[in-house]
Amino acid sequence: MNISKKIAAVAFVLLAATPAFAGKGGSNAKLVAAVQSGSVDAIVAEVERAEGLLCPECTTTMVSLLDDDRFAVREVAAWWFAKRPGAKDKLATQFKAELNTAGSIDVRNAADFLGRVRQFDALPQMRTAIARADLSAEAKVSIVRAVGYMAHIDGNSVLLTAMNDGNASVREAAVTAWREILGQLDVKPLVTRLSDSDARVRAAAATVIGVYGEPSARVMLEQLVTTDGDAFVRRNSAWALGRIGSPDSAAALRTAANDKSGIVRGFASAALASLK
């Protein structure tokens, strides 16, 4: 989205809300100085200090931060707008439209904003956007991250699509976000990810399955803990088996207790001791 359009969308709302005031000592000059420093920490600190700041010039500064290349900067800028409901709603309307039409960078920025302000009515657009073949992995990870921030059960369909994406980073993000959903009860969709071609995805799936103690994953976890080539997958599988707590896992865990990796041996021994 063109920055000038963003500014036009929110400037009147911000200026009509209340006269300018200094908040906690913030000012546009200090915001600009922080941006020019190039330091993420300085920008985040100054935006937080400007929590209550309203002024014509700060609108331009804050809107520009929504398009910053750094996630932490985009996130704190979204937080700033979340405290200004009128401006937030104006931006959310435009960002929702971009999810299905804009390029990868704009979709990334839109998803980060909508997730941070928890714009639940953007979930239908996110369901469409996550299936777009023309989006970068970075943009899709932002969509998944937004769903995790929202933590709404209606985001499951977005995550299920992302779990089958061709990029491992997207699949891993979706698996990890699954546990963030409030009221999440069914983790069976993650069991198939235990056989994912990427070790990071398998390790993440083992962790989330362990959190929920999903018994249907037991046999596959027993295979992973003894045969997987990645130590982190074996470690997480051992931990998950301990959480499931079936005595049928004892043999696999005894084998893992003699693993070549010390960290795997430690987790396997602890899991073995915890079996019922």
Single-letter residue type at 33: A
- Give yes or no for residue 20 having a pLDDT over 90: no
Half-sphere exposure of 274 (CA within 13 A, CB side): 14
Q: Model confidence over 170-204: pLDDT tens digits?
A: 999 999 999 999 999 899 999 999 999 999 999 99
Distance of CA 145 to the CA centre of its chain: 2
Residue 53 — pLDDT band, cuts 50, 70, 90?
A: confident
Q: Would you say 94 and 63 are in contact if contact means Cβ atoms under 8 Å apart?
A: no
Domains along the sequence of the chain with CATH: 99-184 (no CATH), 187-276 (1.25.10.10)
* High-pLDDT (> 70) share of the chain, %: 91
H-assigned helices in the chain: 3-17, 28-37, 40-49, 56-65, 71-82, 85-98, 104-116, 123-129, 137-150, 156-162, 168-178, 188-191, 199-212, 218-227, 231-244, 250-256, 262-274
d(CA 227, CA 268): 14
The token pair at 104 is: 């990868």
101-146 pLDDT per residue, tens = 999 999 999 999 999 999 999 999 999 999 999 999 999 999 999 9
User: Residue 49 CB: number of other CB atoms within 10 A?
Assistant: 18
